[in-house]
Amino acid sequence: MNHLVDQVGLSNSILCDSAGTSSYHIGSPPDRRMSAAAAAKLGIQLRGRARQFAKSDFQEFDLILAMDRDNYNDILSLDPTGKYHHKVRLMCDSCTRHNLKEVPDPYYGGVEGFNQVIDLLVDACEGLLQEITQQELQA
């Protein structure tokens, strides 16, 4: 998403971050296969280290996107009062070219699974960016 935000000149207005719902990979770099797919398909380098979603993220971010229904439910469980439920959506809700409702986990598959996830995420990110820019124009 960050590379798309940069391309449209909104990097000073939009902050994107990534966090997992489990603590298993905290501190790890992106999976090398996902990094290779992103470099090959998009010409971008994935950076950063894994971190776990925190309750403070509800205040920090206007929108929280979950990759799948399990992540969605894990995130909502951290907000038992429902105060921030309106901020949480599934990533694929913004897809315009794919019909999948969840981002599949490519971890145990081959290279093609990572390529599919990259295509799906680009579709979702482009759709989301279009939604955001349309909302800004209407505001």
Active-site entry in 17, 105, 119, 123: 105
Rg (CA), the chain: 15
Secondary structure of the chain: what % helix, strand, coil (to 5)? Answer: 45, 5, 45
Decide if 105 is catalytic: yes
CA 14 and chain centroid, separation = 13
Q: Helices 32-42 and 111-138, interaxial angle, to 10°?
A: 60
Interacting residues of 77 by C-beta distance below 8 A, sequence separation 6+: none
* Bridge partners for 90 per DSSP: 66
Rounded to the nearest 5 degrees, what angle is found at the Cα of 50, between the Cα atoms of 5 and 65? 50
Catalytic (active-site) positions: 105
